[in-house]
Chains A and B, each alone.
Chain A
Amino acid sequence: MRYLVSVINDKSDPGSTDRRPAISAFNERLIAEGYWVFAGGLAGTDAATVIDNRGEQAVFSDGPFVESKEYLAGVWVWEAPDLDVALKLAAEASKVCDRKIEVRPFQ
Chain B
Amino acid sequence: MSDVEEAITRAHHDEWARVVAALTRRFGDLGIAEEAAAEAFTTAVERWRADGLPPNPGAWLTTTANRKAIDRIRRENRRDDKHKEAQMLHDNTPSEPLGAIDDDRLRLIFTCCHPALAVEARVALTLRMVGGLTVPEIARAFLVQGTTMEQRITRAKAKIKAARIPYRMPSADDLPARVSGVLAVLFLIFNEGYLASGPDTDSVRHDLTTEAIRLTRLIRALLPQDGEVAGLLALMLLIEARRPARVSAGGELVPLAEQDRGAWDAELIAEGHRLVRERLAAAAAGVAPGRYQILAAINAVHTSARDIRDTDWSQVLALYDRLVRLDPSPIIALNRAIAVAELDGPEVALAIVDRLAEALAGYHAYHATRADLLRRLGQSQRSRAAYDRAIELAGNTGETAYLTRRRAQLQ
Distance between Cα atoms of A105 and B163 in the complex (Å): 5
B164 contacts A by Cβ under 8 Å: yes
Residues of B115-169 whose CB lies within 8 A of A: 115-116, 162-166
Q: Which of A40-55 contact B (CB under 8 A)?
A: none
Residues of B within 8 A of A83 (CB): 114, 116, 163-166
Contacts of B165 in A (CB 8 A): 82-84
Per-residue CB proximity of A50-82 to B under 8 Å, as 1/0?
A: 000000000000000000000000000000011
User: Does A107 sit at the interface, judged by CB under 8 A?
Assistant: yes
Instruction: Give, as a whole number of angstroms, the nearest-CB distance from B25 to chain A.
Output: 15
Categorize the interface residue count of chain A. 10 to 19
The yes or no answer to A39 lying at the interface (CB within 8 A) is no
Q: Is the interface of B mostly helix, strand, loop or mixed?
A: loop
> From A105, which residue of chain B is reached at the shortest CB distance?
B163
Chain A CB within 8 A of B89 CB = yes
Asked if A96 CB lies within 8 Å of chain B CBs, one says no
Q: Is B330's CB within 8 Å of the partner chain A? A: no
Inter-chain residue pair count (beta carbon < 8 A): 26
B116→A1 contact, CB < 8 A: no
Q: B345 contacts the other chain (Cβ, under 8 Å)?
A: no
Whether B162 contacts A81 by the Cβ 8 Å rule is no
Instruction: Find chain B residues with CB under 8 A from A105 CB.
Output: 162-164
User: Is the Cβ of B116 less than 8 Å from the Cβ of A87?
Assistant: yes
Q: Kindly identify which residue among B89, B115, B174 contacts A82, using a CB–CB cutoff of 8 Å.
A: B89
Rounded to whole Å, the gap between the CB of B137 and the closest CB of chain A is: 29
Q: Please pick, from A84, A87, A107, the residue contacting B162 in the complex, using a CB distance under 8 A.
A: A107
Please tell me if the beta carbons of A84 and B170 are within 8 angstroms of each other in the complex: yes
CA distance A107 to B82 in the complex (A): 12
Could you tell me the distance between the alpha carbons of A54 and B88 in the complex, rounded to whole angstroms?
Answer: 38
Minimum CB distance partner of B162 in chain A:
A105
Complex contact B116–A82 (CB within 8 A): no
Q: How far is the CA of A92 from the CA of B53 in the complex (A)?
A: 55
Tell me the minimal C-beta distance from A93 to chain B in angstroms.
Answer: 16
> Which has the most chain A C-beta neighbours within 10 Å: B116, B164, B165?
B164
> What separation, in Å, do the CA atoms of A99 and B99 have in the docked complex?
38
A82 to B116 CA separation, bound complex (whole angstroms): 12
* B166 surroundings in chain A (CB, below 8 A): 81-84
Q: Point out the residues of chain B lying under 8 angstroms from A84, CB to CB.
A: 165-166, 170, 174
Q: Which A residues touch B89, using CB under 8 A?
A: 81-82
CA distance A81 to B162 in the complex (A): 13
Q: Would you call B164 and A82 a contact (CB within 8 A)?
A: yes
Cα-based distance from A52 to B174 in the complex (angstroms): 46
Q: Could you say which residues of chain A place their CB within 8 Å of the CB of B163?
A: 83, 103-105
Contacts of B164 in A (CB 8 A): 1, 81-83, 105
Say how far A6's CB is from chain B's closest CB, in angstroms: 14
Which residues of chain A come closer than 8 Å to B114, judged between CB atoms? 83
B89 to chain A, nearest CB (A): 5
- How many Å lie between the Cα of A79 and that of B166 in the bound state? 15
Return B374 CB to nearest CB of chain A, in Å. 40
Which chain B residues lie closer than 8 Å to A81 at the CB level? Answer: 89, 164, 166
A104 CB, min distance to chain B CBs, angstroms? 8
8 Å CB interface, B79-123 against A: 89, 114-116
Cα–Cα, bound, A1→B164 (Å): 8
Distance in Å from the Cβ of B80 to the closest Cβ of chain A?
Answer: 15
* Nearest CB in chain A: distance from B29 CB, A: 15
Minimum CB–CB distance for B192 against chain A, Å: 28
Separation of A15 and B165 alpha carbons in the complex (Å): 29
Q: Given known contacts A83-B114, A87-B115, what 18 new A-B pairs fall within 8 Å (CB)?
A: A1-B164, A81-B89, A81-B164, A81-B166, A82-B89, A82-B164, A82-B166, A83-B116, A83-B163, A83-B164, A83-B165, A84-B166, A84-B174, A87-B116, A103-B163, A104-B163, A105-B162, A105-B163
Binding site for B on A (CB under 8 A): 1, 81-84, 87, 103-105, 107
In the complex, 6 of the A-B residue pairs with CB atoms within 8 angstroms, ordered by the A residue number, are: A82-B165, A83-B166, A84-B166, A84-B170, A87-B115, A105-B163
Of all A-B residue pairs in the complex, the 7 with the closest CB atoms, nearest first, are A82-B166, A105-B163, A82-B164, A83-B163, A1-B164, A82-B89, A83-B165
